[in-house]
Amino acid sequence: MKVLITEEGGHILVLGKPPEVGKRYNLEPADTATEAQNKAFHALLTCYWTSGAHSYTCDSFDRFRDEIKVKLGAGFEKIVYADIEDGKAVIITVHRKDEIPPRILADPDLRRMVLAKPLSWSLYTKKQRTETIDRLITEMHAAGVNSKAFHDILAGMQGETK
């Protein structure tokens, strides 16, 4: 359901069934990232990881989650690399991989000095979360994930939008 809060504690039903008297609800702003998105994303990630249908070569779930956030999500919070400027060693911070000079990435020793931190899921906007979840579902379909758990998650997400 979607409601518009009015003055003096009232509300107007915008979408879905009206709230039931005596029942408790968790209220979240409709224009920001939601707990439902959080649960869906992590349930999908877990399902994809356990399916083994993915082609990521990660040795842990945490690394897998970070790879998904980088490849299918909003990318990096920051990337830090070492370089030489005017004969002095400097540390440079950027936000996109394409901001790193190609010579740094081409040099095996310098490439090891690049540290990247994926953007935290808690900092994603509602739009970024929606786009990431959509891309994740698309990739899961393409990879052949076809488990009951996957279909249950998708069915639950359909229920959230009604």
User: Among candidates 126, 105, 54, which has minimal Cα distance to 65?
Assistant: 54
Q: In which band, very low, low, confident or very high, does the pLDDT at 162 lie, cut at 50, 70 and 90? A: very low
Query: Quick check: helix, strand or coil at residue 58?
Result: coil
pTM attached to this predicted model: 0.73
Please answer whether residues 97 and 79 qualify as being in contact, where contact means their C-beta atoms are separated by less than 8 angstroms: yes
Phi, psi dihedral angles at 70 (to 5 degrees)? -80, -45
> Taking 70 as the threshold, does the pLDDT of residue 98 lie above it?
yes
Q: Which residue has the tokens 């901001």?
A: 99
pLDDT at 139: 98
pLDDT tens-digit profile of 38-82?
999 999 999 999 999 999 999 999 999 999 999 999 999 999 999
H/E stretch holding 117 reads strand 115-118
Residue spans of the domains in the chain: they are 34-75+119-161
DSSP 88: E
pLDDT at 84 over 70: yes
